[in-house]
């Protein structure tokens, strides 16, 4: 009966536009969208979103997938996330990095000291393992370095998203 229940859940997820790997990724602490990137029996996930809870973890994706790292940040303090080590440009391409302030700031309300989120989006280029290492620092000379760190190992599986 357990196998039939699992099949029913997968069928329901697929009919709702979700994939089993999205559900599994969320259960493991990763944030995902309907388009995430793991190879499963029922499809391929195209984009994976991870947050600070995935620090020190390994994720597996298909070559060509996007990996977006979302980390809490507070631009009003002068701190920002930066790559602690250069990425392996043969394995990953940095597509975009941006800071999103909290909603109150976007609505032009005065919110001194409110933190937002930095997003870094990478594309996996080919199969293999690589690491994204980031540090939360004040980038100017004499500024505090590596107050917080984040490391994510990305395993890009064979096959490529069309």
Query: Per-residue pLDDT tens for 87-131?
Result: 999 999 999 999 998 875 555 555 666 789 999 999 999 999 999
How does pLDDT run across 31-48, given as a tens digit for each residue? 444 334 444 444 567 899
The domain tally of the chain equals: 1
Calpha distance 61→68 (Å, rounded): 12
Identify the CATH number of the domain in which residue 119 sits.
2.60.40.2020
Burial status of residue 51 (CB atoms within 10 A of its CB: 0-12, 13-18, 19 or more): middle
pLDDT at residue number 102: 82
Residue bearing the bigger pLDDT, 140 or 15: 140
Domain range for 75 is 2-160
């Amino acid at each position: 009966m357990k196998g039939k229940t699992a099949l029913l859940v997968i069928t329901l997820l697929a009919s709702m536009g979700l994939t089993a790997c999205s559900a599994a990724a969320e259960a493991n602490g990763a944030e995902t969208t309907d388009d995430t990137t793991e190879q499963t029996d029922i499809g391929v996930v195209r984009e994976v979103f991870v947050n600070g809870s995935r620090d020190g973890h390994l994720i597996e994706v298909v070559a060509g997938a996007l990996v977006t790292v979302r980390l809490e940040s507070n631009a009003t303090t002068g701190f920002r996330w930066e790559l602690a080590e250069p990425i392996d440009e043969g394995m990953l391409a940095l597509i975009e990095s941006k800071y999103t302030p909290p909603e109150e700031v976007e609505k032009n309300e005065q919110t001194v000291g409110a933190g937002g989120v930095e997003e870094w989006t990478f594309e996996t280029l080919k199969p293999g393992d690589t690491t994204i290492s980031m540090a939360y620092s004040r980038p100017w000379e004499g500024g505090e370095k590596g107050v917080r760190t984040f490391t994510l190992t990305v395993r890009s599986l064979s096959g490529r998203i069309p």
